[in-house]
Amino acid sequence: MSAESSPSPPGAPSVRATPREPLLSLRGISKSFGAVAALTDVALDVAAGEVVALVGDNGAGKSTLVKVLSGVHRPDAGTVRFDGRAVTVPSPGAAQRLGIATVFQDLALCENLNVVENLFLGREMRRLRLDEVAMEVRSRALLGELSAKIPSVRTPVAALSGGQRQTVAIARSLLGDPKVIILDEPTAALGVAQTAEVLRLIERLRERGLGILMVSHDMADVRAVADTVAVLRLGRNNGVFDAVGTTAADLVAAITGATDDLVVRRPGRSRGGSAAGTAEATREGEAS
Amino acid sequence: MTKPAVAADQDGAGGGARKVPGRGSGAVRDRRRAVSGRLRGGELGLLPVLAGLVVIWVVMQILNPVFLSSANLTNLALESVPSGIIALGVVCVLLVGQIDLSVGSVSGLGAAVLAVLFVDRGLPAWVAAGAALALAGVIGWLYAQVHHRIGVPSFVITLGGLLGFLGVQLWLLGPKGSINLPFDSGLVTFAQLQFLPPWAAYTLVVVGAAALYATGAARAGERRRAGLDAASRQFLAGRSLALLAGLGAAVWYLNRDRGVGWMFVFFLALVLALHYVLSRTSFGRSMYAVGGGREAARRAGVKVRAVLTTAFVLCATLACLGGMLSAARLAAANQSSGGGDVNLNAIAAAVIGGTSLFGGRGSAFAALLGVLVIQSISSGLTLLNLDSAYRFMVTGGVLLLAVSLDAVARRSRVSHGRA
């Protein structure tokens, strides 16, 4: 797409402590549905080669934020910067053209179609005389790069396990050559082995230099794979944590607001909004 | 050999043994396991209907030795065409997970429009036929609009259409209720009298077998060059020779009587055309996608409304075409055109042929094989001098069997984690 691509070389692993120009940067995002303020002044940064986990209780605004980023909802206020430019995301198609791919929780795969047919659904090669060979070669190569364990690319998706389906859905989002991938609850409803499979896949995506925003409920998964954890509470930022060195209890406290009282929470909130990426300052505010 | 894999939505290279250059035998084993697993897991494809057809033919032949005579089979082939063409349309709507219960009425309306414009108004046949087809297209479009904008299930919309367009048909035909088509018109001779000369029929068979081999070999070569598993030359040659022998024998047998009707060839051409669209174009792929998961297809960028609209339009247009050919065969359009069992025979043919009522599964060949089953039952029972009371009962039983098979196969897919 653009010439000045991702700041990190593809091989470089995570870069959690180094502050740098993020690939995707949100500031002051607000979104209301009628009288309900779903998001208020939310900030978020995702850098290339970084896994950011977005956590929060039910109704905290995670889904709304994901939908804003994927072009389903338009924010009422705030700016989105992507790859160094201010952008708007008016539609899902616009998000994909920018290079933001979203894998929703229900995966949106057609169970009666096989893996290749699903990967290329809606963007078949040679529309009037399908180029099955090229599509199959590309599918195999892509799944091979992801070290995916799929029995055969001609297996109907209905015959795949939950983890394999997640892999297919992620692989499909990669076909558009995105720079940022948003994963909505990628490990929900998966068994232990399948969860491990998906987490390994997320690490491989990070190694490819993609920025990853992962919405999750599962603190163990978050701490296993994320570099940074952004907490939403009641539609506002409630702290950004370095995943290493943060306990699950800290995160749960930030998510539920259980340990803070009104006096502490108020300044904590406003600070969380501006201090993305520099986790420590916020954490001190939270932890007291 | 038959192909157990559903040819329409698989890669089309067939199910038999394959050779895998430079990849060892793992892929062959995978493929075999995939095929047998698919059978056990409830992906039956065209196997049950082929088996059913053989059983019906054997039973009917035992009951009445005239059944498999050249004369009866020639007739059977021609009789199958109108219902078969309507069934092709039904396959389209069933594939996208909808249904059209009004195909009988629309076919009768098509016959009436054709007769009124062609006979009463004296317009050229092609203008009359074109007008009828265009009207049917508008009807299909209308169904789709009501479905999209008001959200009425297609079951109910087309039930309304069944009654409404039957009314329009009766109104068009007026008090006399029947319009005869002139016997010397091209339409009637096409449907009744025009048969391929033997040399043309044999040429078509040879061309068909050669084309099957050529396309198969080209695809296998392309796959092999790309390092994928591909069908072996022996398999491709065997398949083509089997087709050559089968069709050749059929043509020889029919030629002992009047031969192969042009109308039947026309039907086969429509089946092949729809098969191509369903299995080799992105539009066909999106029809399967919409039937298998509407929301998933929409998210993948498939224009769901356009696909549904096209399916309804295709179905109504094909129903109209079938109705016109039925009128041409009868040399008349009357109040009972498209009435009686036309509607349910066409839907039954599609389902008996293996098109799932639940959407997303089926192929163009389902219409061909399904209608052969239906017409064989009908023809056999007529030969036994049994009246339509028995015909309805037997056809109903076979339909129930086919639908049960579909439901059992679906349950088996669920229990094998495939649905």
Please spell the DSSP secondary structure of chain A, one letter per residue: --SS--SS-TT-----S-----SEEEEEEEEEETTEEEEEEEEEEE-TT-EEEEEE-TTSSHHHHHHHHTTSS--SEEEEEETTEEE---SHHHHHHHTEEEE-TTTT--TTSBHHHHHTTTS-SSTTS--HHHHHHHHHHHHHHTT---S-TTSBGGGS-HHHHHHHHHHHHHTT--SEEEEESTTTT--HHHHHHHHHHHHHHHHTT-EEEEE-S-HHHHHHH-SEEEEEETTEEEEEEESTT--HHHHHHHHHT-S--HHHHHHHHHHHHH-TT-HHHHHHHHH-
CA-wise closest residue to A10 among A142, A208, A202: A208
Please state the length of chain B: 419
- Per-residue pLDDT, B257: 93
Confidence of residue B72 (pLDDT cuts 50, 70, 90): very high
Least confident of A82-91, A265-274, B229-238: A265-274
Structure tokens at B78: 């021609």
Residue B339 sits at the vertex; the CA angle it makes with B333 and B340, to the nearest 5 degrees, is: 130
Q: Does B165 touch chain A (CB under 8 A)?
A: no
Q: Is residue B231 part of a domain?
A: yes
Quick one: B337 and B375 in the same domain? yes
CA-wise closest residue to A55 among A201, A260, A272: A272
User: Taking all residues of chain B, what is their mean pLDDT, rounded to a whole number?
Assistant: 88
- Residue ending a domain, choose from B243, B258, B273: B258
Q: Is residue B23 part of a domain?
A: no
Quick one: B119 and B238 in the same domain? no
Quick one: B156 and B284 in the same domain? yes
Quick one: B213 and B249 in the same domain? yes
pLDDT at residue B393 is higher than 60: yes
Quick one: B337 and B250 in the same domain? no
Quick one: B171 and B70 in the same domain? yes
- Residue ending a domain, choose from B206, B230, B258: B258
Please state the length of chain A: 288
Quick one: B186 and B200 in the same domain? no
* Residue ranges making up the domain that contains B159: 53-194+261-405
Nearest to A154 among B11, B297, B300 (CB): B11
Confidence of residue A243 (pLDDT cuts 50, 70, 90): confident
CA-wise closest residue to B188 among B120, B256, B133, B119: B119
- Per-residue pLDDT, A13: 42
Q: Does A191 touch chain B (CB under 8 A)?
A: no
Contact B34 A154 (CB under 8 A): yes
pLDDT at residue A178 is higher than 70: yes
Quick one: B61 and B107 in the same domain? yes
Q: Can you tell me the mean pLDDT for B118-146?
A: 96
Quick one: B267 and B373 in the same domain? yes
Confidence of residue B39 (pLDDT cuts 50, 70, 90): low
State the smallest CA–CA distance between residue A133 and chain B in angstroms.
6
pLDDT at residue B78 is higher than 90: yes
Q: Is residue B11 part of a domain?
A: no
Q: Is residue B281 part of a domain?
A: yes
Quick one: B217 and B308 in the same domain? no
CA dihedral B57, B63, B65, B69 (to 10 degrees): -30
Q: Does A28 touch chain B (CB under 8 A)?
A: no
Q: What are phi and psi of B331, to 5 degrees?
A: 60, 30
- Per-residue pLDDT, B218: 94
Quick one: B217 and B129 in the same domain? no
- Per-residue pLDDT, B223: 93
For residue A5, what is the enclosing H or E element? none
Domain of B163, CATH number, reads 1.10.3470
Contact B286 A122 (CB under 8 A): yes
Q: Does A184 touch chain B (CB under 8 A)?
A: no
pLDDT at residue B291 is higher than 50: yes
Q: Could you tell me the residue ranges of all domains in chain A?
A: 36-106+179-287
In total, how many domains does chain B have? Answer: 2
Give me the residues of B, 320-379, that contact A with CB < 8 A.
Answer: 360-361
Quick one: B210 and B330 in the same domain? no
Other Cβ atoms less than 10 A from the Cβ of A263: the count is 8
What ipTM was predicted for this assembly? 0.85
For residue A56, what is the enclosing H or E element? strand A51-56
- Per-residue pLDDT, B127: 96
Q: Does A10 touch chain B (CB under 8 A)?
A: no
The sign of the dihedral angle between the CA atoms of B293, B297, B298, B300 is positive
CATH 3.40.50.300, domain A36-106+179-287, yes or no: yes
Structure tokens at A16: 């959690």
Give me the residues of B, 204-243, that contact A with CB < 8 A.
Answer: 219, 222-223, 226-228
- Per-residue pLDDT, B254: 95
Q: Is residue B363 part of a domain?
A: yes
Q: Is residue B40 part of a domain?
A: no
Q: Is residue B7 part of a domain?
A: no
Residue in chain A nearest B225 by alpha carbon: A133
CA distance A202 to A225: 8
pLDDT in tens, A133-159: 999 999 999 999 888 888 889 999 988
